Amino acid sequence: MARCLSSKPSGNRYGHVVLRGGTSGPNYAQEHIAHCEAALEQANLNANIMVDCSHANSEKKPELQPAVAQNVIQQIVDGNTSIIGLMLESNLEAGNQKIPADLSQLRYGVSVTDGCIDWESTESLLLDIAARVAPALKARAPQ
């Protein structure tokens, strides 16, 4: 039986791929995004890509998340329309902590899972992103 592919993707139009890097390293650069777009097109799926700025994309170093975000934002500013969002590991305080036997030793506002950027860094980054991408996102909106 032949498989029929329509010219328009079916399914959830809001479905997306999350690029978070992997064993071969980060996968947020322009060439990685282009490869992902091509794979989605080949599969007849919407090119909706979200980039995780943490995990392997930042080499598990929270302080590198803003640089990853800035690279991705520049791609949007330069005209990329498939990138639909970013993921950041953020908390009130930077870093992370192990869960101690004595829970009273937990530090408030510090992650117990992945290392995070602190609130001040998050706020600054989000304000910068909003200002930089506003014209590009406005251009994407239906008129």
Sequential DSSP letters for the chain: -PPP--SS--S-TT--EEE--BTTB---SHHHHHHHHHHHHHTT----EEEESSGGGGTT-GGGHHHHHHHHHHHHHTT--SEEEEE--B-SSSBB----SSGGGPPTT-BSSS-BB-HHHHHHHHHHHHHHHHHHHHHHS--
With cut-offs at 50, 70 and 90, classify the pLDDT of residue 8: low
Please state, rounded to an integer, the average pLDDT across all residues of the chain. Answer: 93
pLDDT of residue 7: 56
Is there a domain that residue 9 lies in?
no
Is there a domain that residue 114 lies in?
no
Provide the number of structural domains found in the chain: 1
Q: Is the pLDDT of residue 38 over 50?
A: yes
- The span from the CA of 120 to the CA of 136, in Å, is 25
Is there a domain that residue 111 lies in?
no
CB 68 within 8 A of CB 57: yes
Is there a domain that residue 22 lies in?
yes
Q: Is the pLDDT of residue 1 over 80?
A: no
Is there a domain that residue 97 lies in?
no
Structural domain of 26: 17-90+121-138
Is there a domain that residue 133 lies in?
yes
pLDDT of residue 3: 38
Is there a domain that residue 113 lies in?
no
CB 86 within 8 A of CB 72: yes
**Residue percentage of the chain with pLDDT more than 70:** 93
Residue 86 β-bridge partners: 51
Query: For residue 115, what are its two tokens?
Result: 């290392």
Would the pTM of this model clear 0.75, i.e. be above it? Answer: yes
**Mean pLDDT, residues 96-113 taken together:** 97
Is there a domain that residue 53 lies in?
yes
